[in-house]
Amino acid sequence: MTSCPKSFLVFVTFLVTFVLTLCAGSSAQISHSEQVQITPPLIRTVDPPAPDATVADLESRADQLRSSKLYLDALDYYRAALSKEPNSARLLNKIGISELMMQRYKEARKSFERSVKADRNFADAYNNLGVVLYEGKKYGAAIKQYRKAIALDSSSASFFSNLGAAHFSKKEFEPAVIAYQHALELDPEVFERTSRGGVQAQLPNPEDRARYDYTVAKLYAKMGFSDRSLNYLRKAIEGGYKDFRDVYKDVEFSELRKDPRFTELMASKTPALPE
């Protein structure tokens, strides 16, 4: 057998190298626009709890961390406190809130259920258990928990607001209005602020959202809060509320109709654009 000429081997080596380089260059030009990148996991950012810290110190530090949205760190401190005060309904409830804020609904539900079991008279835990059930669209079960919370503490506007949201999401509008009205009577600011313990109605389509805005406008008008009523009326208009002509006959708006701003709002009303 004759050996290959040296010049031929050099040529083959050059050709292989060229092809590999070309392939590498082509791979580098592949688009990554359709690739999914997993979000990095939450990390702990503070020193772990001191073994000799008191329950009060651990809980206070956990509260600070939770308010700063450092939920994993807060959980470390709450659990450290719980190890020193086992079966504490208060701590279990706070653990559940941290888990809820992280959207760990299964864990949060277990924590709230443990809190309720530890103290059958702890209204906050019933309410928060209702929030978890509500987030899972189990509105009937959520209503039962909200009612338990209200039976123990009827002074919380958030409890009634949450109850109204659950009824509204079930399209049970009359009990929703009653609950919302009670919430406003307890706290006129209840719809104007964001509360970690409260929720808004889960409204799957613009029509339901517009109806919600109109309902809230009516409640504010009835209580004499013209500015807020007009604000929600504007939202209902923009949302294309179908029965908006009722604003001229609903008794709740009788005083608001005398307000020049109401006339101006109605004059500027434009029909909602079709989807």
Q: List pLDDT tens digits, range 101-135.
A: 999 999 999 999 999 999 999 999 999 999 999 99
Instruction: Evaluate whether 130 touches 143 at the Cβ level (below 8 Å).
Output: yes
Compare 38 and 239 and report the one with higher pLDDT.
Answer: 239
Which tens digits make up the pLDDT trace of 53-77?
999 999 999 999 999 999 999 999 9
- ∠41-42-45 over CA atoms, to 5°? 135
Percent of the chain's residues with pLDDT above 90: 65
pLDDT tens for 201-248 read 555 578 888 888 999 999 999 999 999 999 999 999 898 888 888 999
Q: Is 60 exceeded by the pLDDT of residue 257?
A: yes
Where does the pLDDT of residue 190 fall: very low under 50, low under 70, confident under 90, or very high at 90 and above? confident
User: Above 90 in pLDDT, residue 7?
Assistant: no
Confidence band of 3 (pLDDT split at 50, 70, 90): low
User: How many angstroms separate the CA atoms of 245 and 253, rounded?
Assistant: 12
* Overall average pLDDT of the 132-150 stretch: 95
Q: Given pLDDT bands bounded at 50, 70 and 90, which one contains residue 30?
A: very low
Cα torsion for 166, 238, 185, 136, to the nearest 10°? 20
Is residue 200 predicted with pLDDT exceeding 60? no
Read out DSSP for 20-75? HHHHHHHHHT---TT---PPPPP---SPPPPTT--HHHHHHHHHHHHHTT-HHHHH
How open is the CA angle 164-170-171, to the nearest 5 degrees? 85
pTM for the model = 0.75
Report whether 257 contacts 267 (CB < 8 A): no
Q: What is the pLDDT of residue 268?
A: 82
Supply the pLDDT for residue 156.
92
